[in-house]
C-alpha cells in the first residue's frame, strides 16, 4: 500500500517542525518546546517511516541517529585546501599584522572581521543540490577523512539548505563540545566505568572519529561555521561579515560574538573584550581570529606558504599545561573542612604561574588516582582555581 496524501503531508510537517526545533535549540540557542514534546514529534515521525519505509530520505531528522559501523574512514580531497593560520601572541604581533595588511593594501586603515577561535576540530561540509553530500576532517589540509555519517548526526549541521541558498556550497567550520555537555558526558563515562576525556576538544575529536556513527549520535556535538572554501563562487557577497550573515540565514550556526573593527586599536579592544568573556562562554576558545573583511583585499594580500596573509589567530595564554605533582598537603578551613592541596612543580598556565591546586576531597584523589611524582594536567579557566 502506498502512503496517502495525508500521510505524506504529515511526514513533511513533522520533518519541518523537528528541524525547526533543532535549529532553535542548536543554532539560536533558544529552545522552543519542551524535550518531551520534541520526543513525541520524533516518535510519530519514526512510526510513520516504519509504516512507509519508502518515505525515508537521507535528510529526514530520523536519520541523525547514525548508520552501520564502517571498517575505516575513506579519504576525501578538499575542493580548496584547508590552510592553517599564523599566530600572534602579543599586542605587538597584532599591531605588526595590521601594519603588514595596510602596507600590502597601500591604505591608511583596514577593516577586520573578528571572531572567537573555537577550540575544536576543523571540518568541511560539501552541499550539492542543497543537500549535505559529504563532510570531512581537515587531515593534512589537502585530504581529510570522510566522516559524513558522523557529521549527519550533529544536529546543528543542516542536512538540507533552504530555498535561496546556493545549491553548491562548501562550508568550513569547527565541531566542538560545550563545557557543560562535556562535564555531563564525562560523568556518564565515569558511571559506566568508561574512560574519561581530558577536555572538550578531545571529547569532540574522539566522538567525531568513531567508526560507529551511532556512538557519535549519542555525543553532544555542536558546530560553528566560520567560512566557505571558495568565497569567489558567491560574487554577491563582498565581505566576510556579509558571508557570515548569509551562512546564518542558510541555517548554519555562527558566533554571536563576531564583529567588524577598524585597525590595530579595534583588534586589541576585541581581544580584551573576548578575553574577559572567555570563561563565561559555553565553549572553549583558544584565542580570537582577525580576518581582513573585504574579499577583494583578501585576494590582493594572498597567501604565504600554507597560511593566508589576510588573517591571523591571536592566541590567549594556554589554560592547560603539564607538570609534576610534588606533594599533597591538607588544608583545614575555618569550618573545619579538610581540603587536600596538590603542591606542583611551578608551571605557567593561563597567564599565571601555578604552584598549588585544590584536589577538592579525598574521593577525588582516589578517583583521579593521583600519586606523588605523577605528571598531571593543570587546567585554569579565567579566575577559577586551578584544577
175 binds ligand IVH (CB under 6 A): no
Please report how close the Cβ of residue 122 comes to ligand IVH at its closest, in angstroms: 3
The Cα–Cα gap between 251 and 378 comes to 38
Residue 271: exposure state from Cβ atoms within 10 A (0-12, 13-18, ≥19):
buried
Please report how close the Cβ of residue 325 comes to ligand IVH at its closest, in angstroms: 32
State the residue number with the nearest CB to ligand IVH: 122
For residue 308, give the C-alpha cell: 593566508
Interface with ligand IVH (CB under 6 A), residue total 15
271 binds ligand IVH (CB under 6 A): no
315 binds ligand IVH (CB under 6 A): no
117 binds ligand IVH (CB under 6 A): yes
Nearest to 221 by CA among 153, 172, 280, 126: 153
Tell me the C-alpha to C-alpha distance, in Å, between residue 305 and each of 105, 295, 311: 19, 19, 13
83 binds ligand IVH (CB under 6 A): yes
| Between 98 and 174, CB nearer to ligand IVH | 174
135 binds ligand IVH (CB under 6 A): no
113 binds ligand IVH (CB under 6 A): no
Is 277 annotated in the active site? no
Q: Are 185 and 220 in contact (CB under 8 A)?
A: yes
115 binds ligand IVH (CB under 6 A): yes
The Cα–Cα gap between 56 and 373 comes to 57
Beta strands in 237-337 (DSSP E): 259-262, 285-292, 303-304, 307-308, 311-315, 320-332
The Cα–Cα gap between 155 and 38 comes to 13
Phi and psi, residue 266, nearest 5° = -65, -40
Please report how close the Cβ of residue 14 comes to ligand IVH at its closest, in angstroms: 34
Which residues between 42 and 81 bind ligand IVH (CB under 6 A)? none
| Between 146 and 174, CB nearer to ligand IVH | 174
| Between 117 and 379, CB nearer to ligand IVH | 117
Q: Determine which helix (DSSP H) or strand (DSSP E) holds 75, and give its type and residue range.
A: strand 75-77
For residue 312, give the C-alpha cell: 591571523
| Between 229 and 344, CB nearer to ligand IVH | 229
| Between 117 and 219, CB nearer to ligand IVH | 117
| Between 309 and 343, CB nearer to ligand IVH | 309
Produce one character per residue of 316-336: b if its CB has 16 or more CB atoms within 10 Å, e if not: beebbbebebeeeeeeeeeee
252 binds ligand IVH (CB under 6 A): no
Pairing verdict, β 111-118 and 285-292: antiparallel
Of the residues 227, 251, 266, 386, which one makes contact with ligand IVH according to CB under 6 A: 227
- The footprint of ligand IVH (CB under 6 A) covers 83-85, 115, 117-118, 122, 138, 174, 226-227, 289, 308, 311, 313
**Residues taking part in catalysis:** 117
Amino acid at each position: 500500500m502506498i502512503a496517502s496524501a495525508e500521510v505524506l503531508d504529515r511526514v513533511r510537517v513533522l520533518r519541518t517542525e523537528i528541524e525547526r526545533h533543532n535549529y532553535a535549540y542548536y543554532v539560536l540557542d533558544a529552545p522552543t518546546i519542551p524535550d518531551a514534546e520534541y520526543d513525541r514529534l520524533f516518535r510519530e515521525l519514526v512510526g510513520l517511516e516504519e509504516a512507509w519505509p519508502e518515505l525515508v530520505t537521507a535528510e529526514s531528522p530520523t536519520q541523525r541517529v547514525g548508520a552501520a559501523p564502517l571498517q575505516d574512514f575513506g579519504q576525501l580531497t578538499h575542493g580548496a585546501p584547508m590552510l592553517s593560520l599564523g599566530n600572534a601572541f602579543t599586542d605587538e604581533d597584532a599591531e605588526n599584522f595590521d601594519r603588514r595588511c595596510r602596507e600590502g593594501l597601500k591604505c591608511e586603515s583596514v577593516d577586520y572581521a573578528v571572531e572567537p577561535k573555537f577550540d575544536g576540530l576543523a571540518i568541511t561540509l560539501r552541499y550539492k543540490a542543497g543537500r549535505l553530500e559529504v563532510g570531512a576532517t581537515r587531515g593534512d589540509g589537502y585530504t581529510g577523512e570522510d566522516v559524513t555519517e558522523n557529521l549527519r548526526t550533529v544536529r546543528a549541521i543542516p542536512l538540507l539548505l533552504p530555498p535561496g541558498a546556493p545549491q553548491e556550497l562548501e562550508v568550513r567550520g569547527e565541531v566542538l563540545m560545550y563545557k557543560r555537555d562535556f562535564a555531563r558526558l564525562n560523568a556518564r563515562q565515569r558511571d559506566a566505568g568508561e574512560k574519561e576525556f581530558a577536555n572538550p576538544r578531545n571529547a569532540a575529536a574522539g566522538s567525531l572519529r568513531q567508526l560507529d556513527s551511532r556512538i557519535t549520535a549519542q555525543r553532544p556535538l555542536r558546530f560553528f561555521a566560520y567560512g566557505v572554501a571558495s568565497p569567489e563562487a558567491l560574487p554577491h557577497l563582498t565581505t566576510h561579515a556579509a558571508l557570515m550573515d548569509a551562512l546564518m540565514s542558510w541555517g548554519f550556526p555562527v558566533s554571536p560574538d563576531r564583529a567588524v573593527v577598524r585597525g590595530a586599536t579595534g583588534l586589541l579592544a576585541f581581544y580584551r573584550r573576548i578575553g574577559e568573556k572567555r570563561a563565561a562562554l559555553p565553549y572553549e576558545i583558544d584565542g580570537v581570529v582577525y580576518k581582513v573583511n573585504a574579499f577583494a583585499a583578501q585576494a590582493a594580500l594572498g597567501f604565504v606558504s600554507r597560511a593566508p596573509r589576510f588573517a591571523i589567530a591571536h592566541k590567549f595564554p594556554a589554560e592547560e599545561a603539564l607538570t609534576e605533582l610534588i606533594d599533597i598537603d591538607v588544608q583545614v578551613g575555618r569550618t573545619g573542612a579538610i581540603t587536600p592541596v596538590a603542591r606542583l612543580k611551578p608551571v605557567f598556565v593561563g597567564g599565571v604561574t601555578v604552584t598549588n591546586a585544590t584536589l577538592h576531597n579525598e574521593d577525588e584523589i582516589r578517583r583521579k588516582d593521583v600519586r606523588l611524582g605523577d605528571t598531571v594536567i593543570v587546567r585554569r579557566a579565567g579566575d577559577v582555581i586551578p584544577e
